[in-house]
Structure 1
Amino acid sequence: MNYFKPIKQVKASEEVSQQLKRAIFEGKYVAGDKLPSERELIENFEVSRTVVREAIKGLEARGLVEIKQGATGGAFVKELTFERLSNDCKDLFLLGQMSFTEICQARLAIEPVVAGLAAKHCTDEQAKILIEANNNESKTLEYPEIVLLRSRVHYLLADMCNNRFLTAIDKSLIQLVANITHKFQPDTDKIHPAGLHQSIIDAVIARDEVGAEKAMRAHLTEFISLLQGIEEEYREWLNASHTLS
């Protein structure tokens, strides 16, 4: 009886890609970090430029890195999210096949747990960063910066929960709402007034897991009601535009 499978020769670019991917997943390169330059990778792996470029393109296709051009460009590690799913859901929303309520119901199921875990693991340094993010929510009212500022507390809590799967799901849902609202840019003070995160932050900083979960649930329930009104206005505007055209 044959217990073995034939050996398949692995392409050099796939091996390079696998090693780079492993380095990213092991945290040697985190979101925002720039991977070694093309020249450095060629020297380190002792392969051709073509092999390195093919490997990097593979990472880009998987959504692990973003290629930036210019003198300071290169391959930069992206946030770990379910980006393709998020993009598909955005298209479904714009086509009227998905609602803000459905998206935020998913957040309502996940983010209270994330907030509780963030409270459990909160450090003094993280507490300072949360407070700073909350204080800067109105630093600008311009799109898309305002959306990032009003979402930053949620992103920070996702990072603090110490569960990479929940982090990826949560960030994808947050990004999805941001991408959709950026499409038609509603009044941010109407859709998400500043200061809504205060009770969540207070509970997280106090390491109150139950309180953090409760505060997040209350916040998202209020947020959903605000989003429903915004979505109704958007759908009415969209229908009117189609009628005129």
Structure 2
Amino acid sequence: MRVADEIKQWVVERDLKQGDKLPNESEMIAEFGVSKGTVREALRILEAQGLIVTKTGPGGGSIVGEVSAERARSLLANYFYFQNLSVADIYEMRKALEPELVASLAGHLSAEQIDELQALAERHPEPARSAEEEKQQHISSLEFHARLADFSDNRLLGFVIGFMARILTDLTVFRGLYDPPNVDLWRKGREHQLQLVEALRRGDAARAREVMASHMQVAEAFMQEQEAQLMRRFVDD
């Protein structure tokens, strides 16, 4: 792992970009002063992480890859899967970041982006009639937030918020927090999303921040109640 880290640092120091070729195996052995087996293991680690791509055959070798945001979120989610996150943990972050995200987006979204958000907000015009429909509505709602994150010019802010939408989706599904269906959560969530889209359409940053802050407060309360109901059912069983 140490050599893999050294190779990453070597790439950074030389400002190599996606598609740039790494030295061949013999050159890397000399550069890092390690054995052939150690170099190969380091390259396997970096390839598994998506940081390099190795091609075989004539003209082959290792080139710098690019880790997609989705892959990075998946790897990070694997870590948090074992951390016993609570709804409160996630919403502590969401309440701090998402109102500022939407305020920064106001007046900077294209008509196509606004229309996409409008379509997402209108996707479920009726409350869920079953736990399965409720699950799909939860997932759709979080897709709305993930798209907001995708539209941010601040890549770090967008990544963190998109990641929170991802782990909240996983938490909702794995713990069954969508059962039983909650009409009030559907109604308030839909109202907030439509109000937010309208604020973004007008370029009203203050209103967008206000709506998202309210949405976070309401959603957290509902989700914590769902979590409490799940625990009560567990104890009763």
TM-score w.r.t. length of structure 1: 0.63
Query: What is the identity, as a one-letter code, of the residue corresponding to 2:95?
Result: L
Q: Report the counterpart of residue 148 of structure 2 in structure 1.
A: 157
Task: Kindly indicate whether residue 70 of structure 2 is the aligned counterpart of residue 79 of structure 1.
Answer: yes
Cα distance in 1 between the residues matched to 2:180 and 2:125: 10
Task: Kindly indicate whether residue 89 of structure 2 is the aligned counterpart of residue 102 of structure 1.
Answer: yes
Q: Report the counterpart of residue 183 of structure 1 in structure 2.
A: 174
Indicate the SS of the match to 2:106. helix
Describe how 1:1-245 pairs up with structure 2 within 5 A.
22-23=17-18, 58-61=46-49, 77-79=68-70, 81-93=72-84, 98-137=85-124, 141-142=132-133, 145-185=136-176, 186-187=178-179, 189-190=181-182, 192-193=185-186, 195-196=190-191, 197-241=193-237
Query: What is the identity, as a one-letter code, of the residue corresponding to 1:169?
Result: V
Indicate the SS of the match to 1:193. helix
Cα distance in 1 between the residues matched to 2:72 and 2:180: 24
- The Cα shift of 1:131 comes to 1.0
Unaligned runs of 5+ in 1: 1-9, 29-40, 66-74
TM-score w.r.t. length of structure 2: 0.65
- The Cα shift of 1:144 comes to 6.1
Query: What is the identity, as a one-letter code, of the residue corresponding to 1:180?
Result: L
Query: What is the identity, as a one-letter code, of the residue corresponding to 2:179?
Result: D
* Identical columns (%): 18
- The Cα shift of 1:61 comes to 2.6
Cα distance in 2 between the residues matched to 1:229 and 1:108: 17
How many corresponding residue pairs?
197
Is residue 107–residue 201 contact of structure 2 (8 Å, CA) maintained in 1? Answer: no
Distance 1:165 1:153, change over 3 A: same
Indicate the SS of the match to 1:92. coil
Distance 1:152 1:203, change over 3 A: same
Cα distance in 1 between the residues matched to 2:140 and 2:44: 31
Distance 1:187 1:209, change over 3 A: same
Unaligned runs of 5+ in 2: 26-38, 53-65
Query: What is the identity, as a one-letter code, of the residue corresponding to 2:141?
Result: R
Distance 1:137 1:81, change over 3 A: farther
Is residue 104–residue 205 contact of structure 2 (8 Å, CA) maintained in 1? Answer: yes
